[in-house]
Structure 1
């Protein structure tokens, strides 16, 4: 068997082991699931499309044999298929324009990749909502049942803290927040693993494409309209509003990333750059309104050309290193 196919099969086995461990070991579930896409990212970014497809197929077969078809379907929908699609996009290229050096290639822009990943996140969040219930009442009931069987009951066995009224109120809040939260978490996991996989294969000399300059991250302008429609639709009562909430959450995170790219460009050359970036990142993690402000900055980039103004104002040019 060719080496690249062996790599793909091995990556699939490792991904399946991580995913299966996350499904069976509660203590390590978060960490293991967070890293389960990484083997597929390494196989795809370092060896190509065929290995990542074989990795996804191998992982699916192993999980189906060990944990059943339902868990295998979850692996395909949340990891194998999306990673294969995103790796395919990352490896797309075409000859550069006539003004470029001979033999230069133009690679798929990272901003478009983030946009597609956000759309996939919104679709998966919508699928999660429909799996929990096809209407508002059945969806809400599924959330209540999840809370009834959660660790909350173990923490409060006598029912003095998590009373019926408290659980009901919590279920209402969780039902509204779940689609957006799922989309944001999934998008974070996938983009982080693609970034980490790119760093690893670039450091090893195996990268099939040059490292993109993430400070130039720019979503296509059409996604502004997609974001606006998703936000407006999220106010529709019932299941349609919940479906739109997932897409709105994913698009919000995508524009947070674009806003961060703007901040990275503007902070270059500042003696307080590390402090500023630390405060911004911590603010996004701890305070929701900071993320909204950064997303607004990202939304304003296409209209005001903030990064272009920074360069014209005398900021040093971008480098081509991870930032």
Structure 2
């Protein structure tokens, strides 16, 4: 390991701990968003060097987090950091750098497809959501009681929220929280990965070709999994229904990403492409139901290559 790596690992460790621990100060405000950028240095180190260096950085960060928080939280913060940030980041950087030679006669290298990586991100988000639900309760009554307990602690800090959050709202939150968790972490994983790849590319440290984000496709089996899980979400009840709904939304988010990828691809040769894409994302953010036709577009792509069909008819 060269000296520059030591300094970069040290910077990555310090940045991670700063981003992760800063919200615990209680006065984070809008800078609370830094918490979600905690794995960014891990992704960057892993993409530039290897997943092993990323793992070493994560271990050092865990030790520092434990040293700073063990008196108040014990191992809780280390487990939280490892589960939602460190382990996924190490796994994804391992996949992004995975490659093999196509033949011994040529220097052509096949890199791990971005579509498969997106698929792994969806699965990881599902697993984290399931772990989170089962951690709160293995049956619906225990799960809802845990949610109520969490909000009771919130009431002590913010008494004004007690009037706004009533019992029926707690029931709604109990049902929708895992869904929001899945969607949110898919977004966080992909954003951190994209920013890391972009930074590595700009600095000249990207060791693989730039992934084609406009060529994302989900495996065909996902459409059958979606149909099966949708049926289970209607037939089951309680905690199993919550888990089924969470998995359903995870797959639907995957197809939304696929639909956006198609739109990025088919607008490549259009002069007003930046304006069109900016308008598209603005509309989606303002009017969220607009994502539904984009999701349908992604689903329809499972059997036919809509990118080629749209380009031929344009």
Query: What's the CA shift string for 1:250-272, capped at 9, x where partnerless?
Result: 22221111100111122233344
Provide structure 2 residue ranges, at least 5 long, that are not aligned to the other structure. none
Q: Secondary structure at the match of 1:106?
A: strand
Contact 2:223-2:302 at 8 Å conserved across structures:
no
Q: Report how many aligned residue pairs link the two structures.
A: 307
271-280 vs 54-63, greater mean Cα deviation: 271-280
Question: Which whole-Å CA distance do the structure 2 matches of 1:200 and 1:181 have between them?
Answer: 28
284-293 vs 267-276, greater mean Cα deviation: 267-276
- Cα distance change of structure 1 residues 259 and 97 upon mapping to structure 2, 3 Å threshold: farther
Q: Which aligned pairs between 1:212-223 and structure 2 lie closer than 5 A?
A: 212-223=211-222
Match 1:87 to one of 93, 113, 118: 93
- Cα distance change of structure 1 residues 176 and 34 upon mapping to structure 2, 3 Å threshold: same
Contact 1:13-1:55 at 8 Å conserved across structures:
no
Q: Which residue of 2 aligns with 1:122?
A: 126
244-253 vs 81-90, greater mean Cα deviation: 244-253
Q: Which residue of 1 aligns with 2:20?
A: 19
104-113 vs 281-290, greater mean Cα deviation: 281-290
Q: Which residue of 1 aligns with 2:35?
A: 33
Question: Which whole-Å CA distance do the structure 2 matches of 1:288 and 1:131 have between them?
Answer: 30
How far is 1:294 from its partner? Answer: 1.2
- Cα distance change of structure 1 residues 58 and 153 upon mapping to structure 2, 3 Å threshold: closer
Measured on the aligned residues, the alpha-carbon RMSD in Å equals: 2.3
Question: Which whole-Å CA distance do the structure 2 matches of 1:10 and 1:156 have between them?
Answer: 41
Give TM-score scaled by structure 2 length: 0.89
Question: Which whole-Å CA distance do the structure 1 matches of 2:17 and 2:248 have between them?
Answer: 30
Q: Secondary structure at the match of 2:107?
A: coil
Give TM-score scaled by structure 1 length: 0.87
Provide structure 1 residue ranges, at least 5 long, that are not aligned to the other structure. 315-323
Question: Which whole-Å CA distance do the structure 2 matches of 1:293 and 1:313 have between them?
Answer: 19
Q: Which residue of 1 aligns with 2:250?
A: 250
Q: Does 2:183 match 1:184?
A: yes
Query: What's the CA shift string for 1:76-134, capped at 9, x where partnerless?
Result: 00000001001101111112379xx9312111111110110100001101111111111
Q: Secondary structure at the match of 1:102?
A: coil
Q: Which residue of 2 aligns with 1:319?
A: none
Match 1:55 to one of 54, 57, 66: 57
How far is 1:155 from its partner? Answer: 6.1
Match 2:102 to one of 87, 96, 102: 96
Contact 2:139-2:239 at 8 Å conserved across structures:
yes
Match 1:65 to one of 64, 67, 70: 67
- Cα distance change of structure 1 residues 44 and 124 upon mapping to structure 2, 3 Å threshold: same
How far is 1:136 from its partner? Answer: 0.5
Q: Which aligned pairs between 1:130-149 and structure 2 lie closer than 5 A?
A: 130-149=134-153
Question: Which whole-Å CA distance do the structure 1 matches of 2:76 and 2:232 have between them?
Answer: 31
Question: Which whole-Å CA distance do the structure 2 matches of 1:73 and 1:226 have between them?
Answer: 31
How far is 1:6 from its partner? Answer: 4.7
Contact 1:260-1:294 at 8 Å conserved across structures:
yes
246-255 vs 281-290, greater mean Cα deviation: 281-290
Contact 1:8-1:50 at 8 Å conserved across structures:
no
- Cα distance change of structure 1 residues 232 and 5 upon mapping to structure 2, 3 Å threshold: farther
How far is 1:156 from its partner? Answer: 2.6
